[in-house]
Amino acid sequence: MPSEKKCPKCGTNHNKRGPYCSRSCGNGRVWTDEDKEKKRQKLLDYHQTPEGIATQSISSDFMSRINKDRRDERLGNYILQDEDWMLDIPLEQEEREDNSWL
């Protein structure tokens, strides 16, 4: 018979397997400053790659366009329109008129 344990996160007594009383208690994580610094450095390194530079450029162009188009509207009241977030995706193959691929 399992012994009664106390959940380290919420303090509930339970008889379940493992130290936590539930999945939600077990999924919590506290990030240390060292972990945060590693994630920050990885992100800075990513922004130096060609993909990161392109992503950053698209993001800044996108936000500049929104801010320019909506500068007269009150802050915080802007609702994204479909054309604001939709991107053109270049296709390598051409599409036939009957919607089948070549």
What's the rounded Cα separation, in Å, for the pair 13 and 7? 6
Long-range pairs, 59-64, Cβ under 8 A, ≥24: none
Give backbone dihedrals phi and psi of 75, rounded to 5 degrees, phi first: -65, 140
Q: What pLDDT shows up at residue 52? A: 80
Structure tokens at 86: 């939709």
The mean pLDDT values, 10 residues at a time, for the chain of 102 residues are 84 92 88 94 89 75 68 58 64 58 51
CA atoms of 78 and 83, how far apart (whole Å)? 14
pTM over 0.95: no
The pLDDT, as a whole number, for residue 5 is 92
